[in-house]
Amino acid sequence: MIVLGISSAPRDSAAVVLRDGEIVAASEEERFTRRKHQGGFPIQAVAFCLAEAGVGLGGVDRIAVCGETLPKDLAGLGARAETVAPHLSQAAAAFYPAPFDAAAVLVLDGADGRVATALWRGGAGALAPVWEAAGPDSLGLLYSAFTAYLGFRPRSGEYKVMGLAPYGEPRHARTILDRLAAVDAEGRFRLDRTVFSDADPARAAERLADLFGVPRRAPEDDLAQAHFDLAASIQVATETVVLCLARAARRETGLRRLCLGGEVALNCVANGAVLREGGFEDLWIQPAAGPAGGALGAALAVWHRDHPRAGGGDRMRGARLGPGFAQDEIVARLSAAGARFDVLDEAALLAACARELAAGQVLGWFQGRAEFGPRALGCRSILVDPRVATLRATLNAAVKFREPFRPFAPAVLREDAAAWFDLDRESPYMLLTAPVARADIPAATHVDGSARVQTVGAEAEPRFRALLEAFKRETGCPVLVNTSFNIRGEPIVGTPEEAFRCFMGSGIDALAIGDCFLRKAEQDTRRAADYRHTVEPD
C-alpha cells in the first residue's frame, strides 16, 4: 500500500511517500525551487517522492494532506485524498517513527493551525488525545514575536534568537511570564490578547517596544546588550513553559518516555532542559518537527488508522530520505559544470579529506541521500576542525556570510561523546544541547560553554562516520564542526552542480562529492561568481 503525504503550508511545504508504512522518501519543496522556506503545493517534492517509490500518481492508494482544508491542487483526486488536522499530523510524526512502545507526545506548534499545543498518549494501538489548547495561545507565536522584535525574520530566524541568548542576561523573563504568557501550575498558558490579538508575530512585535522600552531592531542594525538580554529572556521563559508542560505530561500520562513534535521542538536548548529536568527517562524528537514534518505525520496517521504500530527502532532512517546521486551521474554533472576533480577510492578520499581538515581547511561534504528536515547530519555538510578557534569566524564571515554571533554544532563519534560532552545518551539528529567537557574544541563551543551535539553511530551515513574515524586517526580528535552546506538565505544544496557553485562562490577550500575530490586551488577561477549576492537574506 502506497500513501502519499503532503504539507502544502504557506512555508516549508513537503511531500512524503510510505510503502506499507515504511518511509521511502521525503523532501521539502525548497530543495528543488531553491527558495528558502518555499510554501504552497509541493509539486517537485511530490514528483521526487513518487519517482523514488517507483510509482505514478495512479499507483498511490491514499493521499494524506496536512491541513484543515483540501487544497485545490488535489480537488480531482477523489476518495484517495483526505485531510489530517495539523496537530494530529505533528503528533503522528513525533510518535510513530520513535523507538518507543509507549510515550507521552507533546506537540508545541506555531499558531498557524486551530490547535497550538496538545498532549497525546501514544501506545501500541493508536494515538489518543489527552488535552489541547487552541491558537493563538502558542509558544511558537510568542517566540516568533520576539524573533521579529529583535530584527530577524519570524518563522525563520528563531534559531538566531536561540544562538543570541547566551550573550545576554534573562532580566525580562519574569515580565514575559507575568505579562505576556499567563502560565498555570500545569504549564497551560494564555497569551495576552492586547499584544497577541491574532497569529501574526510581526504585529505582536510592534507592541513589545512599549512593554520593554527597547525600540524594535531593524534588520542588519548593530546588536546591543539590550537585544542580547531580550533573547536570553524569551529563551528562559520558553524553557520554563516547556518544562512545566513536560512535567505535567509526565504526571497526567504516567508514561516514562516523551516524544516532542511541532516547531518549538527544534529549540534544542529547551529540549536539553526537558531531558535533564522533565522527569522522563528518555526523549525522542522528530528531526523535521516543523510544517514539513506535517506531510510525514499526515501519511503516518492515515496508515496507522488501519494498521497497528509495529515496534523496533528509529524509523526515520537517520533522516536520509531525500535525493541521492549515483557516481557516474556525479561525474557527468561535475564535468558539465566545468569542475576539475580526481576520482578516488574510499580509503584515498577519506585520507585526503582528513588531511585537509587537519590542516585547517574548510571541507564541503556531499554524500548519500539528502537529509529531511533543517539539520545537515553528514550528507550535505560543511566541515572544519573544531580545535582551531579562528575557524568559527572564518565559517561565519567567509563561508556562510552570516552574523558573527552564530554558533556551530559538533558531530562526534557516539562512543566518544561522553568524553567530550556532558551527554550520556544518543543525539543523532542534533536536537540537544549539552555542556562541552573539554577546552580544546573552541570552534564547536558556544559562548556559554555548550554545544548542539550530533552523535554519529553505526546507523549514521556510513561515509560520514568513516570520515570522523579517519580524522580521529589523523589528529586524535573524534569531533568535527558540522554545519549545513549552504550560505545565508539559501536552502541546503540539492545537486552536485549546486554544491560546486557554492564551493566556488564561498570560502570552502576542498569538496568531496561521492568519490570525486576537488581542491579550490585547482579550479578555473572564472567559475567563482559573486555568489553571496544571488540569494535573499534570511
185-238 pLDDT, tens digit per residue, is: 777 888 999 999 888 999 999 999 999 999 999 998 999 999 999 999 999 999
pLDDT value for 356: 98
Predicted local confidence at residue 125, as pLDDT: 74
Q: Tell me what pLDDT residue 364 has.
A: 98
Q: Report residue 526's pLDDT band, with 50, 70 and 90 as the boundaries.
A: confident
pLDDT score of 266 more than 60: yes
CATH of span 2-85+289-315: 3.30.420.40
Beta-bridged to residue 297, according to DSSP, are none
Judged by average pLDDT, the poorest of 98-107, 211-220, 310-319, 480-489 is 310-319
The per-residue pLDDT for 112 is 62
| Percentage of residues in the chain having pLDDT higher than 90 | 86
Out of 88-102, 107-121, 292-306, 355-369, pick the least confident.
Answer: 107-121
Residues 6+ apart with CB under 8 A from 72: none
Residues 6+ apart with CB under 8 A from 184: none
Per-residue pLDDT at 71 exceeds 60: no
pLDDT of residue 313: 84
Please say whether the beta carbons of 93 and 296 come within 8 A.
Answer: yes
Q: What is the reported pLDDT for 184? A: 82
79 pLDDT band, cuts 50/70/90, is low
What's the pLDDT score for residue 534? 67
pLDDT of residue 116: 85
Q: Tell me the C-alpha distance between 412 and 454, whole Å.
A: 6
**What's the pLDDT score for residue 483?**
98
- Identity of the amino acid at 1: M
Residues of the chain with CATH 3.30.420.40: 2-85+289-315, 132-285
Question: Which residues belong to CATH 3.90.870.20 in the chain?
Answer: 327-534
Distance, in Å, from the CA atom of 531 to the CA atom of 505, rounded to the nearest integer, reads 5
Phi, psi of 409 (to 5 degrees): -100, 145
pLDDT tens-digit readout, 432-464: 999 999 999 999 999 999 999 999 999 999 999
What is the pLDDT at residue 379?
98
Q: Where are the alpha helices (DSSP H) in 341-451?
A: 346-358, 390-394, 417-420
Mean pLDDT, the chain, rounded, equals 93
State the pLDDT at residue 533.
65
Q: Give the model's pLDDT for residue 514.
A: 98
Q: In the 8-state DSSP scheme, what is residue 515? A: T
In tens, the pLDDT along 379-427 reads: 999 999 999 999 999 999 999 999 999 999 999 999 999 999 999 899 9
Taking Cα atoms as reference points, which of 414, 418, 392, 413 lies closest to residue 403? Answer: 392
Give the pLDDT score at 110: 76
Rounded mean pLDDT, 298-317: 89
Q: What is the pTM of this model?
A: 0.95
Average pLDDT over residues 49-76: 84
CATH T-level fold of 132-285: Nucleotidyltransferase; domain 5 (3.30.420)
Indicate if the pLDDT at residue 113 is higher than 60: no
Confidence of residue 243 (pLDDT cuts 50, 70, 90): very high
**Single-letter code of the amino acid located at 529:** A
Which of these, 161, 163, 265, lies nearest to 205 by C-alpha position? Answer: 161
**Whose grid coordinates read 579529506?**
353
Q: Report the C-alpha gap between 370 and 325 in whole angstroms.
A: 10
pLDDT at residue 473, as a whole number: 98
pLDDT of residue 115: 78
Task: For 171, list phi and psi in degrees, rounded to 5.
Answer: -70, -15
The pLDDT of residue 136 is: 82
CATH 3.90.870.20 fits 327-534, yes or no: yes
pLDDT at 111: 63
- Cα-Cα-Cα-Cα torsion 55, 59, 61, 65, nearest 10 degrees, comes to 60
What's the pLDDT band for 494 if we cut at 50, 70, 90? very high
pLDDT at 69 over 60: no
